[in-house]
Amino acid sequence: MREGICSVRNVLPDRVRELFDSIVEQRVLGASKHIAMIGDMIEAIAVQGRDEKKSAKVIVEDIKKVAKFFMATRGEASQAVSNAILIMLHEIDKNADLDIETAVDKILETKNNYLQESKEATEKLIEYAAELAKDMEKIFVFDYSSTVESFLTALAESGKKHTVYIAESRSIDGGLPFVIPCQKAGYAIKYIPDVSIMYYLKECDAAFMGAETFFPDGTGFNTIGSDIVGLVCYQYNIPLYFLTPFIKLDFRPAFGHKKALVINDMGKKLTKDWKQEIDTGKIDFLTPELVGVEAKYIKGYVTEKGIIPSNQMYEISFAYSNNLKGDIL
């Protein structure tokens, strides 16, 4: 695996290798941010290839190499990454036989068109979410999502006072990235360990989280611990909303596909303060990265198409899937 990572990394211009490392090493979280970063890598390869007088065919192959890596790794956890890459590289093979200037212009145009459409979709759903939450006093958020961060920033502009409950989401420190933007926005913040979710969630008006991906049956996938949030919300009749653009739809389960769990080794993170005499080599530290939250636990999905009850996602998902463009690389 390390050899494969190095091989892909070496394709990238120096100025974007830090972006690659930040995704691979989970220093930056959130599918939306990762998609934008991959877009920057695509542009960097194209522009440097043009500057170095490479052929369009070589540029296309280098871009596809990076794309395939992220579809096989990051895309396995979040279908949004794979969907976005397919759209950003729509018909890229047709550019391989063009002159270099035309090829690069077309590659950048396709990538930029997707990013603009994505930006507009996210802005629309954030508008809906802020309107939904404007009269709530206590809001619970679980695990980092750049979409949820943008929603909290927009909500603060209403001028009303809100308290944001942030759970630490320990497996990937997914609560910590919310703290600075929430402080800047002027929120009262209550930061809790994720083992306190049940105790404090009962005080909140609603819970919000992003989705790494979602299924047409209304199942939403997010970081481990999201299932606990769903259960507590269901038990105490607290509405749970997933904030997500439709790009994160994984329609494959409608045709029998089963999502494979991505498993992380938590050994280093969990044992960093342990005493040296403990034999960690004989302890299993594996845990899933993402889990599914069934539709019955979710009040609704806040999307660019509106706020949709979780049990009514299938028809609109089917229509979106039919319009999803993109080629198999």
Over residues 223-269, the pLDDT tens digits come to: 999 999 999 999 999 999 999 999 899 988 999 988 888 888 988 88
Dump the DSSP string for 31-45. HHHHHHHHHHHHHHH
**Residue 169: inside a domain:** yes
**Based on the domain organization, do 98 and 202 belong to the same domain?**
no
pLDDT digits (tens, 9 = 90+) for 30-40: 777 899 999 99
Q: Which of 69, 88, 121 is the last residue of a domain?
A: 121
Q: Which of 103, 121, 139 is the last residue of a domain?
A: 121
Q: Report the CATH number at residue 101.
A: 1.20.120
- Write down the pLDDT at residue 325: 53
Among 307, 264, 274, smallest CA distance to 77 is for 264
3 state DSSP class of 184: helix
Q: Report the CATH number at residue 162.
A: 3.40.50.10470
Q: How confident is the model at residue 2 (pLDDT cuts 50, 70, 90)?
A: low
- Write down the pLDDT at residue 158: 84
Supply φ then ψ for residue 36, to 5 degrees. -60, -40
> How many other C-beta atoms are found inside a 10 Å radius of the C-beta of residue 298?
26
- pLDDT over 90, % of the chain: 71
**Residue 328: inside a domain:** no
pTM for the model: 0.79
pLDDT digits (tens, 9 = 90+) for 123-136: 999 999 999 999 99
- Write down the pLDDT at residue 324: 66
Among 43, 67, 56, smallest CA distance to 94 is for 56
pLDDT digits (tens, 9 = 90+) for 8-46: 999 999 999 999 999 998 888 777 789 999 999 999 999
- Write down the pLDDT at residue 3: 54
Domain count for the chain? 2
Residues 12-33: b if buried by 16+ CB within 10 A, e if exposed: bbeebeebbeebeeeebbbbbb
**Do residues 66 and 49 make contact, with C-beta atoms less than 8 angstroms apart?**
no
- Write down the pLDDT at residue 321: 85
**Residue 19: inside a domain:** yes
E runs forming strands in 51-128? none
**Based on the domain organization, do 74 and 106 belong to the same domain?**
yes
**Based on the domain organization, do 94 and 130 belong to the same domain?**
no
**Residue 301: inside a domain:** yes
Q: How confident is the model at residue 1 (pLDDT cuts 50, 70, 90)?
A: low
**Residue 313: inside a domain:** yes
Q: How confident is the model at residue 328 (pLDDT cuts 50, 70, 90)?
A: very low
pLDDT digits (tens, 9 = 90+) for 287-303: 998 899 999 999 999 99
**Based on the domain organization, do 173 and 55 belong to the same domain?**
no
Burial class (CB in 10 A: 0-12, 13-18, 19+), 203: middle
pLDDT digits (tens, 9 = 90+) for 178-187: 999 999 999 9
Q: Which residues pair with 138 in a beta bridge?
A: 163
- Write down the pLDDT at residue 270: 87
Total residues found in the chain within this entry: 329
**Based on the domain organization, do 87 and 209 belong to the same domain?**
no
Instruction: Give the residue numbers spanning the domain of 18.
Output: 2-121
Q: What's the CA gap between 178 and 143, in Å, rounded?
A: 9
**Based on the domain organization, do 100 and 161 belong to the same domain?**
no
> How many other C-beta atoms are found inside a 10 Å radius of the C-beta of residue 207?
25
**Based on the domain organization, do 99 and 222 belong to the same domain?**
no
**Residue 113: inside a domain:** yes
Q: How confident is the model at residue 212 (pLDDT cuts 50, 70, 90)?
A: confident
Q: Which of 121, 140, 158 is the last residue of a domain?
A: 121
Encoding tokens for residue 79?
């279908």
Q: How confident is the model at residue 70 (pLDDT cuts 50, 70, 90)?
A: very high
**Based on the domain organization, do 137 and 256 belong to the same domain?**
yes
**Based on the domain organization, do 289 and 182 belong to the same domain?**
yes
**Based on the domain organization, do 84 and 142 belong to the same domain?**
no
**Based on the domain organization, do 128 and 277 belong to the same domain?**
yes
**Residue 329: inside a domain:** no
**Residue 208: inside a domain:** yes
Mean pLDDT, the chain, integer: 91
**Based on the domain organization, do 108 and 175 belong to the same domain?**
no
Q: How confident is the model at residue 156 (pLDDT cuts 50, 70, 90)?
A: very high
Q: How confident is the model at residue 327 (pLDDT cuts 50, 70, 90)?
A: low
